[in-house]
């Protein structure tokens, strides 16, 4: 007999510790118990429908439960379920690598598989470090990252993370690295003018922080890592492509690797297949995960150059092997899901349909600026973000005890929206399959949600 809804909920509370969740928040309320999904919609146990406005942690690309992805997975299950990837190979990763080689810049043609975004970045970090050892640059052991950057929850990626709430308690475990201020235009680290909804008015002085640091430390630095065009977990901070161009130029000039973490931005989310295309640059490493399978199953790829690869290619006794791997590396079913997603991109000409949707979202977001507690609106591609503040003029944030973002989350649920603000940044991170009508409805509901919370937090403003 199937278990009743109440028992399921009680068992969840009895046994499960959820990620990124203060469990006490759910002492007197239930977690949203999701039962099924289709397209951009989710349904709970009671059959209530919600918009999945954050693409289930930024990974769903073509909508949930896409029939083409389902078919690929089903067919794969008849053939091969799991196989270790050291000394063996199989169809899925081979076919996927061939597709990625065509999508990515020509120089990125060596693909290392793993199974989540953090490990995709860990692999790039380790490869970069080992590359410099193999090429005789033994002092190059430090990494540079951005304040507010996020690359995962493993010890290595936390060492390069810039979100104190996430990494703070683990400081004793993390390795020393350099951080430079982020191109966070709304709160410009150089004090330059910025018009919310329009953009910055500056000469990218924030990139000078990197230049100055490299001027002193380049010989000790292996790589600079950043999220191209959009810093996700640090607050959905979109920034100009010129910053990326400048960073690329600096990394090349000072002889360090550039690692682009496209775990969240890859596969169309920013309006281009990969965010780096906005700047037309080619890094030394690109980290991919989340959307690579269309979001259905876990898989990751670290793409790098022939030059990096060849520094490891040697007789075994020279000790140049890259000793890294995970049990589910390039799992056949996950690769099948990725191939299904690639088929959807091609057969449904997904990228060609995007500009109109992107325009709707990016234009529509500006209307939020008239809400008293919305200090900034920003975004790129299928992502729009709204930074909530206590006082617009001074950009003073809300006191954390007000929990403005959390209140928006709760109010959103009542309206059939699953928003999941990053502290006080409310955002939409939509699948590429969403229709323009759905975009309009999601924006109208989100706007009403924020207006309601705004008038309760800032009465009379």
186 as an active site residue: the answer is no
Quick one: which segment of 136-144, 256-264, 427-435, 437-445 binds ligand PLP (CB under 6 A)?
256-264
Binding status of residue 430 toward ligand PLP by CB under 6 A: no
Binding status of residue 117 toward ligand PLP by CB under 6 A: yes
Burial (CB count <10 Å: 0-12, 13-18, 19+), residue 114 = buried
Tokens of 86: 């050291």
20 as an active site residue: the answer is yes
113: CB partners within 8 A, 6+ apart? 85, 93, 299, 300, 301, 329, 330
Binding status of residue 294 toward ligand PLP by CB under 6 A: no
Widest CA span in the chain: 74
Give the Cα-Cα-Cα angle 376, 382, 387 (nearest 5 degrees): 15
Q: Which one of residues 40, 69, 121, 256 is an interface residue with ligand PLP (CB under 6 A)?
A: 121
The smaller minimum CB distance to ligand PLP, of residues 121 and 301, is found at: 121
Binding status of residue 233 toward ligand PLP by CB under 6 A: yes
- CB-based burial, 316-325: b 16+ in 10 Å, e otherwise: eeeeeeeeeb
Give the sheet arrangement for strand 41-44, strand by strand.
34-38, 41-44, 49-51
Q: Which one of residues 238, 241, 289, 407 is an interface residue with ligand PLP (CB under 6 A)?
A: 289
- DSSP code, position 375: E
Binding status of residue 162 toward ligand PLP by CB under 6 A: no
By residue count, the chain amounts to 461
Binding status of residue 118 toward ligand PLP by CB under 6 A: yes
Minimum CB distance to ligand PLP, residue 391 (Å): 30
The span from the CA of 164 to the CA of 146, in Å, is 12
The smaller minimum CB distance to ligand PLP, of residues 120 and 457, is found at: 120
Q: Of these residues, 51, 131, 150, 194, which one is catalytic?
A: 150
290 as an active site residue: the answer is yes
The span from the CA of 96 to the CA of 335, in Å, is 7
Minimum CB distance to ligand PLP, residue 163 (Å): 11
Minimum CB distance to ligand PLP, residue 51 (Å): 20
Pairing mode of beta strands 237-238, 199-201: unpaired
- The residue count for binding ligand PLP (CB under 6 A) is 14
Quick one: which segment of 111-119, 128-136, 162-170, 427-435 binds ligand PLP (CB under 6 A)?
111-119
Could you list the active site residues? Answer: 20, 150, 261, 290
Q: Footprint of ligand PLP on this chain (CB under 6 A)?
A: 116-118, 121, 150-152, 227, 232-233, 261, 263-264, 289
């Amino acid at each position: 007999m199937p278990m009743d809804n109440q028992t399921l909920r009680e068992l969840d509370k009895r046994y499960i510790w959820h990620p990124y969740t203060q469990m006490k928040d759910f002492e007197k309320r239930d977690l949203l118990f999701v039962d099924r999904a289709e397209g951009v919609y989710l349904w709970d146990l009671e059959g209530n429908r919600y918009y999945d406005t954050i693409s289930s942690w930024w990974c769903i690309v073509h909508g949930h439960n896409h029939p083409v992805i389902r078919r690929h997975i089903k067919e794969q299950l008849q053939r091969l379920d799991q196989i270790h990837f050291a000394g063996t190979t199989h169809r899925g990763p081979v076919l996927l690598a061939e597709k990625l080689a065509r999508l990515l810049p020509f120089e990125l043609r060596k693909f290392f598989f793993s199974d989540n975004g953090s490990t995709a970045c860990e692999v790039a970090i380790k490869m970069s470090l080992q590359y410099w050892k193999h090429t005789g640059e033994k002092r190059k052991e430090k990494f540079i990252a951005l304040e507010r950057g996020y690359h995962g929850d493993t010890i290595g990626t936390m060492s390069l993370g810039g979100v104190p709430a996430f990494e703070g308690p683990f400081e004793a475990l993390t390795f020393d690295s350099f951080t430079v201020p982020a191109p966070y235009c709304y709160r410009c680290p150089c004090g330059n003018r910025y018009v919310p909804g329009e953009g910055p008015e500056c000469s990218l002085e924030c990139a000078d922080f990197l230049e100055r640091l490299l001027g002193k430390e380049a010989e000790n630095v292996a790589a600079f890592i950043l999220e191209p065009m959009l810093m996700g977990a640090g607050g959905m901070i979109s920034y100009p492509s010129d910053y990326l161009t400048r960073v690329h130029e600096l990394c090349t000039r000072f002889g360090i690797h550039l690692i682009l973490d496209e775990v969240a931005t890859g596969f169309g989310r920013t309006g281009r297949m990969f965010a780096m295309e906005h700047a037309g640059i080619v890094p030394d490493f690109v980290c991919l995960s989340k959307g690579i399978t269309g979001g259905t199953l876990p898989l990751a790829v670290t793409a790098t150059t022939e030059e990096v690869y060849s520094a490891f290619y040697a007789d075994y006794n020279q000790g140049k092997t890259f000793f890294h791997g995970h049990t589910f590396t390039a799992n056949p079913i996950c690769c099948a899901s990725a191939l299904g997603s690639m088929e959807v991109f091609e057969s449904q000409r997904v990228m060609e349909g995007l500009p109109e949707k992107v325009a709707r979202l990016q234009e529509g977001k500006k209307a939020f600026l008239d809400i008293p507690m919305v200090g900034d609106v920003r975004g790129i591609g299928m992502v729009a973000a709204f930074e909530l503040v206590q006082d617009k003029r001074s950009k003073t944030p809300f006191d954390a005890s007000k929990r403005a973002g959390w209140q928006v989350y709760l109010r959103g649920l009542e309206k059939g929206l699953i928003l999941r603000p990053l502290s006080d940044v409310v955002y939409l991170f939509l699948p590429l399959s969403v229709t323009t009508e759905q975009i309009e409805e999601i924006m109208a509901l989100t706007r009403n949600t924020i207006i309601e919370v705004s008038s309760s937090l800032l009465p009379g403003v």
